[in-house]
Amino acid sequence: MSIENFEMELDKIKNSKGKKINLVEDFLIDIYRRLDHTENYNSCIKAICHIANLQLEDAMVQQLLHDCIIKSRIFLYDDMLGNSDIGYNPNISPQDIFLKSFYTSSVSETTLTKPQKEIFNEFQKSRRLIVSAPTSFGKTRIIREIISHNEYKMVVIIMPTVSLLSEAYNDFKHEFSDRYIVSKSSKIKIEEKKEYILILTPERMSVLMQDNINLRVDFFVMDEIYKADYKLNDDRYKVFADILYRLTKSGADLYLIGPYISAFSEKFRSKFNIKMLRYDIEIVQKDYYELDVVSRRGSHLIEGVDIRVVGDKYKNLKKITGNDKIDGKYLIYRYQKQYVESLAEKFIKDLDDKEYNRSLVDYLENNISKSWSLVQCLKKGVAFHHGAMPRHIQDLLIDEFNKNNEEGVKYLFCTTSLTEGVNSTAKNVVLYDLKIGDGNQIKSLDRRNIEGRAGRFMQHFLGRVFYFDHVDRDINEDTNVEIEFVDSSNPDIETLVQLSESDISEDSRNKYKSFVEYLSGLNIPLNLLKDNKFVDISGQITLIEHLRNDANFANYHYSTQYPVIEKLESILSIIYDCLFTKSNRGRNFDGDIGKKILLDLTKYYIYKQPSFPVLLNSGTLKYLREKENARIRLTFDLITKYFEFIWPRYIKAFENLFNFVAGEKGTKNISLDYIVSLLEYGTNNNHEIILRDAGIPREIIIKISTIFFNCESYQDVQSIYKKRRNEIINKLSNIELRILDKYI
C-alpha cells in the first residue's frame, strides 16, 4: 500500500470512529508489516495513536494493536490502554516480555522508547550529544537515565525559564534526593565529598560560577538550546551562549536538547567534538484544524460534529470550547500580555461560577488585589498566564490547570511563557494569533513549540491544534542554531572579551587586538570591563570617562550602610544615562519624564520596601495606569524586570567602575551590596536571601524568617524545613505551604 493510500485508509477509520472492525483489523495487520521498514516508522506511530485513541473494545483489534505497539517499541502506549476503560487485555507472550525488558533500565526500572534507547546508547558512547526532537518526545527522561547510569559528582541542568526550572527541580528532587543534594538555588555551599544536581537558569549559573571559581562540572544539560543562537538578537542569548561555552570548554560531558532544530553550529560541534541526532517522530499525535475567519469560513467536521466558522474569532472560540464532543483542557495562545488578559476577561462573562480553590483565591486577593481579574477568572475555571507574573504565581496556576478534578482550571490563556517546554494537561491548543510579542509574524520554531503543547504523553494519544488565522504548515524554516563567536562574521566585542584568546577566530582577532589597544590608550584594564558581564562596553567606557572628569566625583561617595537619597539619585541617574540600553528603557521609562518616574519608583522601593498592594496603589503607578489590571501588569514588570534584574546588574557594574576611578584618584571605595540586595531580594539578611533565591515570595518569608535565622546555605534551609515543619505549618495557609513544599 502506498503512503497516499495508507493515509486515506487511516482517514476512513478516523471518520467512521472505527465502526468497521474488519477494516481496522486489516489496517493494523498492514501497520505491523510496514514496521519492518524504517522509512515507515513515523507514519506507523501516527496510525497506532489514532487507532488507540478510538478506544475500541473488540478483542482482536486490541490484540493486533498490542502487537503493533510491541513492534514499535513504544511500550508505554500499552500501559496507557491498560489504564483506560475499554477492558484492554491482550495476550502477552514471553517474547513481548523479553523485548520490553531489553528497553527497561535495570537501574531505574524505566522503560524507554526505541528512539530514547538510541539516544541513551549514543550518549554512553560519545558523551557529548545534541538532540533535536519534538515536544513530548521524552528528551528529559533520558537525562534521568544518564545520571542513573553514570558516576557523576556534579551535575548541572540549565533551564531557560523559572517555570521549567521549578518543574524539573521537583522531578529530580523526588527521584535523586537519596544520592544527590538537589538544588535550584545559586546560594549553595559546595562541599568536596558530596554530590550535587543543580538546576539553574543561565543567569543563576553565571552567579554560581563567579562565586565558586574552582567549580568542576562532570555533566551538564541545556534545555531549549536554540536560545543560545545569536540570530535571536534578544537580551538573553549572550548569557546562554556564555554558559554553554564555559561549561563545554571545561571538558564536561554534555547533553543539549531542543525541539525542531534543523542544525547546530558545525564549527562549534567540530571544535568541541559534539555529535548531533535529529528526530521528527511525534509520540503524541496531533489533529490540525484551520479555522481562519477569512479563507476557511463554513462547515468543519470536528470529532464528528459540524462546526460552522464565521468571520469572528471570538465566536469561533466559543463554538469550539462549548462543544462537549471536543474533550479535554485548553491552552489559548495570544501574543501579548494585555490581549491574553482581556480575552480571558471576555471569555468568563457568560460562564457560571464553579468549585474553585478558595485558598488560592484568598492568597491572591490578600497579596495582589481583590479586584484583579484573575481572581474572577479562577472562580469560573479560567486563568491567564504570562511572563511578567511572579514565578510562584505562574507555578500555582499551572498546578490548577493540571488538576484532574472539577475544581481545577479548564481554560488557560497564555503567551509563550507557557509554551516553551512547560508540561501541562492541555489536549487542545488554540492559536488565536499567529504573531509573537513584537507583533511580527510567528516563526516556524515558535509556532511548532506552541503546537507541541497539545496532548501530553501518558495521558493522550492525540492532541488538537486549532488555528484562527491562515497557516502554511508545509513551510518550516531551517532552524540552524549558530553560536556568535564561531559563526558570526562580526561578533560583538562584549562576546569576544569573554573568550579565551585562543578561541577567538582569525577573522575576529584584529578587532579584538584593536580594542585591547584602544583600552590601553584609555588606561582601562580589559578585566574591569570583562567582569561586568554583557553590560554594554561603550556605556562602561562612557561612565568611566564621566567619573574621571566629573568635578563632583566626591558626591557619589558615602561611608554609611547605604547612601542618603540624594546621593542614590545621582548614582541611579548616571547609570541610566550611561548603561541603560534602548530596550532597557522601553516605552514606559524613556525620555526625561520616563527617567524621573523610574528613578522615583526605584528610590521608593529601596527606602520604603512597600508590599505589592502598597506599591500597586502608589500615586505614581496610578498616574501611569488608571485601570487596575493594567497597573498590576506594570507593577509585576517593574519588580521582575527593573528592581530584581536590570538595576542590580547595573548598580554592581557602577560600583566596580567607580572604585576603579576612585583608585586612580586616591579616594575611598564604596559598596553598593546593601542596595543591590534590597532590590534583588527585598532584604539584606543572608537567610532571607537564600529563601528568596529559592523562589519564596517576600510575604511568606516575613512569616517564617525567624525559623531560618541561622541558615547559611540552601542545604541548611532544607534541613531546618524538615525538622521544624510542624511549626511552619501553623504559620502558613495551605497555598503558602504548597509554595514552600514546591521550592524547598
Mean pLDDT across 165-193? 89
Q: How far apart are CA 451 and CA 455, in angstroms?
A: 9
State the pLDDT confidence band at 601, using cuts at 50, 70 and 90. Answer: very high
Range of weakest confidence among 162-171, 193-202, 325-334, 582-591: 162-171
Q: Output the pLDDT for position 631.
A: 97
> Residue 153 contacts by C-beta under 8 Å, 6 or more apart in sequence?
195, 196, 218
State the pLDDT confidence band at 554, using cuts at 50, 70 and 90. Answer: confident
Q: How far apart are CA 325 and CA 20, in angstroms?
A: 21
Range of weakest confidence among 266-275, 532-541, 553-562: 553-562
Q: How far apart are CA 77 and CA 71, in angstroms?
A: 12
Q: Output the pLDDT for position 420.
A: 66
Q: How far apart are CA 401 and CA 411, in angstroms?
A: 8
- Determine the 3-state secondary structure of 253 from DSSP: strand
Instruction: Please tell me which residue, 275 or 447, carries the higher pLDDT value.
Output: 275
DSSP letters spanning 114-170: HHHHHHHHHHHHHSEEEEE--TTS-HHHHHHHHHHTS--SEEEEE-SSHHHHHHHHH
The closest alpha carbon to 696, from 722, 708, 661, 121, belongs to: 708
Helix-helix angle 537-549:506-522, to 10 degrees: 10
Q: How many helices (H) and strands (E) does the chain have?
A: 36, 17
Beta bridge partners of 255: 129, 221
Mean pLDDT across 285-299? 91
Q: Output the pLDDT for position 234.
A: 80
For cell 488565522, what's the residue?
A: 469
Q: Which amino acid is at 310?
A: V
Tens digit of pLDDT for each residue in 464-517? 999 999 998 777 677 899 999 999 999 999 999 999 999 999 989 999 999 999
Q: Output the pLDDT for position 47.
A: 95
Range of weakest confidence among 427-436, 506-515, 535-544, 554-563: 554-563
Helix-helix angle 337-347:628-637, to 10 degrees: 140
**Grid cell digits, residue 534:** 554583557
Q: What is the pTM of this model?
A: 0.94
Q: How far apart are CA 389 and CA 370, in angstroms?
A: 16
Q: Output the pLDDT for position 472.
A: 83
Give phi and psi for 499, each to the nearest 5.
-90, 155
- Determine the 3-state secondary structure of 682 from DSSP: coil
Q: Which amino acid is at 362?
A: D
Mean pLDDT across 275-282? 94
Q: How far apart are CA 730 and CA 422, in angstroms?
A: 32
CB atoms within 10 A of CB 511: 16
417 pLDDT exceeds 90? no
State the pLDDT confidence band at 421, using cuts at 50, 70 and 90. Answer: low
The closest alpha carbon to 631, from 642, 641, 645, 619, belongs to: 619
**Distance from CA of residue 416 to its chain's centroid?**
9
Go through 182-196 and write b for each residue having 16 or more CB atoms within 10 A of its CB, e for each that does not. Answer: bbbbbbbebeeeebb
Q: Identify the helix (H) or strand (E) that includes residue 428.
A: strand 426-431
Mean pLDDT across 118-125? 96
Q: How far apart are CA 264 and CA 679, in angstroms?
A: 38
**Grid cell digits, residue 513:** 587586538
Give phi and psi for 544, each to the nearest 5.
-60, -45
Q: Output the pLDDT for position 11.
A: 87
DSSP letters spanning 10-44: HHHHHHTTT--HHHHHHHHHHHHHHTTSGGGHHHH
Q: 340 with 334: CB under 8 angstroms?
A: yes
CB atoms within 10 A of CB 549: 9
Q: How far apart are CA 645 and CA 583, in angstroms?
A: 14
Q: How far apart are CA 379 and CA 719, in angstroms?
A: 37
Q: Output the pLDDT for position 1.
A: 67
Q: Output the pLDDT for position 629.
A: 96
Q: Look up residue 111 and give its DSSP letter.
A: B
Q: How far apart are CA 703 and CA 706, in angstroms?
A: 8
Q: How far apart are CA 122 and CA 137, in angstroms?
A: 17
Tens digit of pLDDT for each residue in 361-385? 999 999 999 999 999 999 999 999 9
Q: Output the pLDDT for position 419.
A: 67
40 pLDDT exceeds 90? yes
Q: Output the pLDDT for position 79.
A: 94
The closest alpha carbon to 422, from 738, 626, 164, belongs to: 164
Q: How far apart are CA 629 and CA 379, in angstroms?
A: 17
Tens digit of pLDDT for each residue in 294-320? 888 989 888 888 899 999 999 999 999
Q: How far apart are CA 625 and CA 632, in angstroms?
A: 9
> Residue 257 contacts by C-beta under 8 Å, 6 or more apart in sequence?
130, 131, 132, 133, 139, 140, 221, 222, 223, 224, 225
Mean pLDDT across 548-561? 86
Q: 438 with 411: CB under 8 angstroms?
A: no
Mean pLDDT across 109-132? 95
Helix-helix angle 21-34:3-15, to 10 degrees: 150
- Determine the 3-state secondary structure of 316 from DSSP: helix
Helix-helix angle 41-53:21-34, to 10 degrees: 150
The closest alpha carbon to 321, from 224, 241, 432, 485, belongs to: 432
Q: 90 with 115: CB under 8 angstroms?
A: no
Give phi and psi for 691, each to the nearest 5.
-65, -40
**Distance from CA of residue 224 to its chain's centroid?**
8
**Grid cell digits, residue 582:** 534602548
Q: How far apart are CA 347 and CA 374, in angstroms?
A: 12
Q: How far apart are CA 483 and CA 494, in angstroms?
A: 14
Taking all residues of the chain, what is their mean pLDDT, rounded to a whole number? 93
Go through 259-297 and write b for each residue having 16 or more CB atoms within 10 A of its CB, e for each that does not. Answer: bbbeebbeebbeebebebeebebbbbbbbebbbbbeebe
Percent of the chain exceeding pLDDT 90 equals: 77
Q: How far apart are CA 705 and CA 641, in angstroms?
A: 25
